[in-house]
């Protein structure tokens, strides 16, 4: 078995870390395994079954150490059982596999086990200084003179008895708080504390196999603020596609915080995952995807939109409409893509569309455009739009169309997209609507 112990720093006067800090680290650890427990000032989790999923022991260890440090973890340790890992973390020994576990534990101060605490004075008078000294005492004498917890803790730490835990349950919603070490007066400086909350949120999202399309950072003003200032403020960040990429979310948040002016110093932060969407992750190749080495275009556009404003960065989006003029619309980048499927068409679509269809001349009922047009494929009938009103009042009309589209070839202009109006007064009228590049 492979157990990890993450030790959080004690509070003032040796008190346990705040519940919020322990809960935050435990929630983050759920992305590695569902077997996560909180014990005093430590978060313990068993990752034997998850090693291959995260690239091996070395890769898993490096990731836990790096991200754990960002979460405020004081020390780490790895061992074959949870209580041994907890004891090694208290002693500042990370690797519980470099020597036999018995040898490592025998040399540790006996205070690394909490069960020794009530009997520390008595054991010291008996000449005990290390766990090895306690373990060498007669078992019968230990069981009679001390409570059963001491002997049980020794046996569990040395792997002679199994260790039981109450596992941390995955919360249905993500909401985390953080008390800042000092009061912050500039909004961009909030990113330091917000990154820790984002790291917890990304771990929670990974455990749920989900991503976020919107998250909210809230802040509370210092209690010594002016009466005219409110209790705090908040900022909601939206993404175009579900994401749990920590660096991308941090960059988006930094761009938005750069535009915020705090009305009073801030002492507390709160992060809420406002919109969560399930991710269907899949790998289409056994080979590495070189296209993913750099930042995707979508992430770049989101960051530019955060800097310039969403109304200045637009993208084309297909809509569920067969009329060529309204088949595509422009919308701000941060908005999520529409999720309903668009029915495929059985005709090729033009690359360039004229703003206003151009009426063509005809010769013997055949359209002309830089020469006589040869009709290649068609007709492709498009009818609809009676629900689409243009204008208001008495002059309002509908955008109802009844057309037969053709792909035509011009000797000089190339491939064109032309149509005839159905049921029109002039049935010989042809219109040019698009050009194929």
**372 has a pLDDT exceeding 60:** yes
**173 has a pLDDT exceeding 60:** yes
Contacts of residue 29, defined as CB under 8 A and 6 or more positions apart, other chains included, come to: 6, 36, 43, 45, 203
Confidence of residue 424 (pLDDT cuts 50, 70, 90): low
**338 has a pLDDT exceeding 70:** no
The pLDDT assigned to 97 comes to: 92
334-362 average pLDDT score: 69
Nearest partner of 79 among 155, 4, 154, 163, judged by Cα: 4
Per the structure block, which two tokens stand in for 45?
């989790």
**34 has a pLDDT exceeding 90:** yes
Q: Look at 12 and 270; give whichever has higher pLDDT.
A: 270
**3 has a pLDDT exceeding 90:** yes
pLDDT, the chain, mean: 85
Q: Look at 383 and 200; give whichever has higher pLDDT.
A: 200
354-363 average pLDDT score: 86
The pLDDT assigned to 392 comes to: 74
The pLDDT assigned to 381 comes to: 84
The pLDDT assigned to 341 comes to: 46
What is the Cα–Cα distance from 349 to 378, expressed in whole angstroms? 12
The pLDDT assigned to 215 comes to: 95
Confidence of residue 339 (pLDDT cuts 50, 70, 90): very low
Q: Look at 112 and 335; give whichever has higher pLDDT.
A: 112
What is the Cα–Cα distance from 195 to 235, expressed in whole angstroms? 14
54-65 average pLDDT score: 92
The pLDDT assigned to 346 comes to: 58
CB 54 within 8 A of CB 32: yes
pLDDT digits (tens, 9 = 90+) for 247-299: 999 999 999 999 899 888 898 999 999 999 998 766 555 445 544 555 667 77
pLDDT digits (tens, 9 = 90+) for 78-121: 999 999 999 999 999 999 999 999 999 999 999 999 999 899 99
Please name each of the domains of the chain with its CATH number. Answer: 3-157 (3.30.70), 173-280+294-344 (3.30.1490.100), 352-435 (no CATH)
The pLDDT assigned to 294 comes to: 58
Would you say how long the chain is, in residues? Answer: 437
The pLDDT assigned to 425 comes to: 64
The pLDDT assigned to 293 comes to: 52
**324 has a pLDDT exceeding 70:** yes
The pLDDT assigned to 95 comes to: 92
């Amino acid at each position: 078995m492979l157990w990890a112990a993450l030790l959080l720093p004690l509070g003032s006067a040796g008190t346990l870390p705040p519940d919020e800090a322990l809960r935050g680290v435990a929630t983050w650890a759920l992305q590695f395994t569902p077997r996560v427990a909180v014990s005093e000032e430590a978060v313990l989790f068993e990752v034997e079954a998850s090693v291959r999923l995260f690239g091996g022991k070395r890769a898993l260890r490096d990731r836990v150490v790096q991200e754990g440090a960002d979460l405020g973890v004081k020390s780490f340790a790895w061992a074959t059982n949870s209580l041994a890992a907890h004891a090694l973390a208290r002693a500042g020994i990370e690797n519980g596999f470099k020597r036999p576990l018995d040898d490592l534990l025998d040399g540790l101060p006996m205070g690394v086990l909490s069960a020794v605490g009530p009997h520390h004075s008595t054991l010291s008078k008996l000449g005990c200084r290390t766990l090895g000294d306690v373990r060498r005492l007669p078992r019968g004498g230990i069981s009679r003179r001390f409570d059963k917890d001491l002997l049980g803790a020794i046996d569990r730490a040395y792997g002679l008895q199994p260790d039981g835990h109450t596992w941390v349950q995955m919360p249905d919603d993500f909401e985390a708080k953080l008390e800042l070490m000092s009061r912050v007066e500039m909004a961009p400086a909030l990113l330091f504390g917000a990154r820790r909350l984002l790291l917890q949120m990304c771990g929670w999202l990974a455990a749920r196999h989900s991503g976020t399309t919107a998250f909210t950072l809230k802040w509370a003003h210092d209690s010594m603020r002016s009466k005219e200032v409110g209790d705090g403020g908040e900022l909601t960040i939206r993404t175009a596609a579900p994401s749990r990429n920590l660096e991308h979310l941090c960059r988006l948040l930094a761009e938005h915080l750069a535009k915020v002016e705090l009305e009073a110093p801030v002492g507390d932060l709160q992060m809420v995952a406002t919109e969560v969407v399930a991710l269907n992750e899949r790998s289409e190749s056994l080979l590495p995807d070189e296209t993913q080495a750099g930042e995707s275009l979508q992430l770049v556009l989101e960051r530019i939109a955060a800097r310039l404003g969403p109304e200045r960065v637009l993208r084309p989006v297909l809509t569920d409409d067969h009329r060529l003029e309204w088949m595509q619309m422009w919308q701000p980048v941060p908005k999520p893509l529409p999720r309903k499927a668009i029915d495929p068409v059985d005709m090729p679509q033009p690359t360039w569309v004229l703003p206003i269809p151009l009426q063509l001349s005809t010769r013997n009922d055949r359209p002309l455009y830089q020469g006589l047009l040869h009709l290649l494929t068609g007709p492709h009938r498009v009818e609809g739009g009676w629900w689409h009103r243009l204008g208001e009042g008495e002059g309002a009309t509908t955008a109802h169309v009844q057309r037969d589209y053709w792909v035509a070839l011009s000797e000089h202009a190339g491939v064109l997209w032309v149509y005839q109006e159905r049921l029109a007064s002039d049935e010989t009228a042809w219109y040019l609507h698009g050009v194929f590049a």
